């Protein structure tokens, strides 16, 4: 029997985000009742249209400022589990505190509210592999790692720190704050707690967007590099995952009792951008071309870092999708939105 059974009500914070909307979709498909928290009523229209077929199984609630004490009291009331997916993502921030404060305070606000309701069985935090590892790390990475490099970068340089490090340290500190809160409030919490830490998440877009330049950070990066030919460093290498697998992991994490108290690193594979160039061009979909680059160079790339996702595979039972299917679905999705045009490559 699932730990949090279908039919239970799940609160998903930051419900209009790239990953969060997929979490809503997969929870509803799995039979859960879902309440999504958003920051303004205007953000509810698209979500209610998207999930209209689920009727009263889907609802939204406005939480204007997630950093306020007691901000989530009303939202959590009547829920059986919480998935905290509300956290800022930006790579153009001057003051690191503009990311750190809402990430940390929002997380503590959710946990503080959850502690007041004994019916809450599980709280899941959508963290990030950015909390686990940074650019300077090498070797085999697993859930025991913490991105101390980003923390030191921001502590030392402040506003002058690398933009990526500013975002990474916000995820690091938010997750650290969550584990510290859970440890120090064990006597008050009836729920257990876990975190899910995905690598770069790509995939079809469900959330409302105002245009191709208003996509979420990872999908804008994907579109800019793969379809618009923006140049990135030749030695850039990273790890990818399909957003739909991140979402499915959240549903599985509700259902597996043994997932409680754990930290899950999620990643489907490693890549250099040439891999995606090759896939797009091999697919030969009208209107979708990528730079030619150096075809096949990805197959000979030696990666300085590997990601050990065996815990997620073993405990959650998740299997990850393939890169070609994800890329094909991205092309179809962006074309449907009118965001992808024939290029001159």
Q: Give me the residue spans of the domains in the chain.
A: 9-202+240-268
pLDDT given for residue 13 in this prediction: 98
If pLDDT is split at 50, 70 and 90, which confidence band does 88 have?
confident
**How far apart (Å, rounded) are the C-alpha atoms in residues 82 and 178?**
14
Confirm if 107 and 177 have CB atoms less than 8 A apart.
Answer: yes
- Can you tell me the mean pLDDT for 250-279? 97
pLDDT given for residue 342 in this prediction: 59
| Per-residue pLDDT tens over the stretch 38-66 | 999 999 999 999 999 999 999 999 999 99
pLDDT given for residue 89 in this prediction: 79
Is the pLDDT reported for residue 345 higher than 70? no
The CA-atom distances, in angstroms, between 44 and each of 19, 237, 315 are 16, 37, 34
Class of the CATH domain delimited by 9-202+240-268? alpha beta
- Can you tell me the mean pLDDT for 327-345? 85
Average pLDDT, the chain: 94
Tell me which long-range contacts 284-290 makes (C-beta under 8 A, separation of at least 24).
285/328, 285/331, 286/342, 287/335, 287/340, 287/341, 287/342, 288/227, 288/331, 288/335, 288/340, 288/342, 289/227, 289/342, 289/343, 289/345, 290/226, 290/227, 290/229, 290/343, 290/345
Q: Which H or E element spans position 37? A: strand 33-38
pLDDT given for residue 174 in this prediction: 97
| Per-residue pLDDT tens over the stretch 162-216 | 888 889 999 999 999 999 999 999 888 889 999 999 999 999 999 999 888 899 9
**How far apart (Å, rounded) are the C-alpha atoms in residues 334 and 310?**
32
Phi then psi for 332, rounded to 5 degrees? -60, -45
Q: Which two tokens stand for residue 280?
A: 């797009």
SS3 call for 46: helix
Q: Which two tokens stand for residue 62?
A: 């406005």
pLDDT given for residue 270 in this prediction: 96
CA atoms within 13 A on the CB side of 154: 24
pLDDT given for residue 253 in this prediction: 98
The CA-atom distances, in angstroms, between 107 and each of 67, 148, 188, 210, 342 are 8, 20, 17, 28, 42
Is the pLDDT reported for residue 93 higher than 90? no
If pLDDT is split at 50, 70 and 90, which confidence band does 91 have?
confident
Is the pLDDT reported for residue 290 higher than 60? yes
pLDDT given for residue 344 in this prediction: 56
Instruction: Look at strands 269-271 and 238-242 and give their pairing.
Output: antiparallel
**How far apart (Å, rounded) are the C-alpha atoms in residues 127 and 195?**
6
- Can you tell me the mean pLDDT for 303-315? 96
118 DSSP 8-state letter: T
Q: Which H or E element spans position 280? A: helix 273-283
SS3 call for 289: coil
pLDDT given for residue 343 in this prediction: 63
210 DSSP 8-state letter: S
Confirm if 94 and 110 have CB atoms less than 8 A apart.
Answer: no
Model confidence, pTM: 0.96
């Amino acid at each position: 029997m699932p730990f949090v059974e279908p039919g239970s009500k799940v609160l998903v914070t930051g419900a209009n985000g790239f990953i969060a909307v997929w979490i809503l979709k997969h929870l509803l498909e799995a039979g859960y009742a879902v309440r999504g928290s958003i920051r303004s009523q205007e953000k509810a229209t698209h979500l209610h249209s998207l999930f209209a077929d689920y009727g009263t199984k889907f609802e939204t609630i406005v939480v204007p400022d997630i950093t306020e004490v007691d901000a989530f009291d009303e939202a959590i009331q009547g829920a059986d589990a919480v998935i905290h997916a509300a956290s800022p993502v930006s790579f153009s921030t001057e003051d690191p505190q503009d990311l750190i404060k809402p990430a940390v305070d929002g997380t503590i606000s959710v946990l503080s509210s959850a502690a007041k309701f004994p019916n809450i069985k599980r709280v899941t935090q959508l963290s990030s592999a950015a909390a686990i590892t940074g650019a300077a790390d090498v070797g085999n990475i697993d859930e025991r790692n913490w991105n101390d490099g980003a923390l030191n970068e921001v502590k030392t340089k402040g506003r002058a720190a690398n933009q990526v490090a500013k975002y990474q340290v916000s995820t690091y500190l938010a997750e650290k704050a969550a584990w510290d809160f859970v440890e120090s409030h064990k006597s008050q919490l009836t729920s257990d707690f876990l975190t899910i830490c995905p690598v770069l998440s790509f995939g079809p877009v469900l959330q409302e967007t105002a245009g191709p330049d208003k996509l979420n950070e990872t999908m804008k990066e994907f579109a800019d590099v793969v379809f618009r030919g923006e140049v990135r460093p030749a030695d850039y290498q990273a790890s990818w995952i399909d957003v739909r697998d991140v979402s499915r992991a959240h549903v599985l994490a509700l259902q597996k009792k043994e997932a409680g108290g754990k930290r899950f690193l999620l990643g489907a594979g490693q890549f250099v951008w040439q891999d995606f160039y090759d896939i797009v061009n091999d697919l030969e979909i009208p209107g979708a071309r990528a730079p030619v680059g150096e075809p096949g160079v990805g197959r000979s790339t030696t990666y300085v870092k590997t990601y050990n996702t065996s815990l997620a595979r073993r405990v959650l039972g998740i299997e990850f999708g393939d890169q070609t299917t994800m890329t094909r679905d991205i092309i179809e999705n962006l074309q449907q939105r009118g965001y992808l045009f024939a290029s001159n490559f």
